[in-house]
Amino acid sequence: MASIPQTINRSFVEAAKSSERSSNFFSSGTSVCSSFSTDTTVSSRRIDLLREERRLQQEKIRDCFKSLESESRVFQRRASKIVSATNEDIQTDRIMGVGSFSKVCSVRRMSMNFQNEVGSQCSSRCSSRQREPQTEYDGLDDEISLYSKRDTELPIDTSFRSIGTEDSNAKHYVMKQLRDDLSKEMRMVGSLHLAKEARFLEGLRHPNITSIYSKGEMPGSVNFFIVQEKLHICLEKCFRQWNNQNAVMNRNAPTVASLRKGGRRGRSQIKNVIFNERIDVLIGVASALEFLHRNKIIFRDLKPGNVGIGYDSTPKIFDFGIAKELKERYRVEAGKDLFHLTSDCGTRRYMAPEVYWGEPYGLSADVFCFVTLVWEVMMLIPPYKNMNKSEHENYVFVKNKRPAIKRSWKKQIKTLILKGWQKDTSKRPTMNDAVKVLQKIKS
């Protein structure tokens, strides 16, 4: 990637300050008039310089993005048809989430023309998808990467109305765009990050990966945005629901009389339904990662906050901000799943040791994250819940310890987790292995 140059730290606020010297206008006579005129000219020049600087920044971002496209197999792949839009086509509502670079807002209205284009594309994609095979603050959830923290919110929905009416269709989508309060350096990095994420989603189509339906016309522009499907619920909220289900089951424990009438069998059936619901989510996430790995892409930030459930109950992963396409020039040694990549990248709670220590790593780092997620889905509590960052570092990365596994869990799940937690990356299973194990557990 081409390096992003350092820029001059100057803002419109600084440009406007020069006009403050006009405050003594009435007491200083014509000399102040001359000074005010000079200050106004200087302010105008500064604003022009800032505009030119922003234009040059956007050109640099677009050049970096083009360089990424030229080296990427995924970016060069023929992308699915995506509707281009402008800010005039979409009117957003409340902010649903804010990340380091982006904000996610609900959509209130869409212009009629834009609504028809997106609706037509959505119908076409849904029909083709039916034919596809379904495959206390402790610092541990801080996202760490080359760029700083990543966005973890679900996409938001958008709708616009100067041309059309407020419609229910708009509520199926969300809009992700840059935050308004970013510094120039953060804005440049965020613009590249958002453009890269949009291009990843264009080139990757899978039932368990969130869909993109529209994007802004100029990738790299501060006004660039992406419109995605709105997900029904985040996996973190599923944990609360599953915990509530467990609580209800425990409160309604069968009596001896009810067990004699078959109550034990009914209770067992309910437990199996709840268990299979969790396994279905894990199979969906594993299928998405297996698809990415087949395309030589490492996700690097798998966690409950980046997994959502669609309105059709399909689990989906989202937020490809720090996903990375593995190229041969990054590989350490031929035939090995080890690459020279950014260290300490992702979310600490789920991070593989080799990533934390800055050692070469590969697709198996995602496997480590995944089995940690499996453990959390089974336990319904965050791993290392009562540890701070230094305690977690010593426990996981120094002493190579892992959370305790319940003896009552199915043997296949225990084996999958233990193998995925191996410090030796070559001994970890692949995501294809994980999919097969989970499917076998459910069958």
**SS (HEC) of 185-202:** HHHHHHHHHHHHHHHHHH
| Residue corresponding to tokens 């980046």 | 306
Neighbours of 99 (CB within 10 A): 20
Note the helical H segments in 204-358: 235-251, 256-260, 263-294, 353-356
286: containing domain: 233-309+326-442
Hey, is 323 helix, strand or coil?
Answer: coil
pLDDT in tens, 392-405: 999 999 999 999 99
297-317 pLDDT, tens digit per residue, is 999 999 999 999 998 999 999
Out of 2-11, 164-173, 198-207, the most confident range is 198-207
Q: Give the per-residue pLDDT at 185.
A: 81
Classified as helix, coil or strand, 82 is coil
Question: Does 357 have pLDDT greater than 50?
Answer: yes
Residue 77 lies in a domain: no
pLDDT at 124 over 70: no
> What one-character-per-residue DSSP string does 115-158 give?
HHHHHHHHHHHHHHHTTS------STT-EE-TTS----SPP--B
Residue 76 forms part of a structural domain: no
pLDDT, averaged across the chain: 77
CB atoms within 10 A of CB 363: 23
Do 245 and 300 share a domain, yes or no? yes
Q: What is the pLDDT of residues 161-197, one digit of tens each?
A: 233 334 555 568 888 988 888 887 888 888 888 888 8
Report which of residues 89 and 65 the model is more confident about.
Answer: 89
Sign of the dihedral through C-alpha 71, 73, 74, 79: positive
* 242 and 367 together in one domain: yes
Q: What is the CATH number of the domain that holds 409?
A: 1.10.510.10
> Distance between CA atoms of 97 and 306, rounded to whole angstroms?
13
Q: Which pLDDT belongs to residue 104?
A: 86
Assess whether 223 and 241 both reside in one domain: no
Distance CA 423, CA 353 (A): 7
Give the CA-trace dihedral at 8, 10, 11, 17, to 10 degrees: -170
Same domain, 90 and 34: no
Lowest mean pLDDT among 107-111, 199-203, 436-440: 107-111
- Pick the last residue of a domain from 177, 194, 229: 229
My answer on whether 277 and 159 are in the same domain is: no
* 217 and 287 together in one domain: no
Q: Residue 365: its pLDDT value, please?
A: 98
Q: Which region among 1-5, 117-121, 337-341, 420-424 has the lowest average model confidence (pLDDT)?
A: 1-5
Asked if residue 177 and residue 239 are part of one domain, the reply reads no
Number of domains in the chain: 3
> 430 and 330 share a domain?
yes
- Same domain for 268 and 357? yes
Residue 317: inside a domain:
no
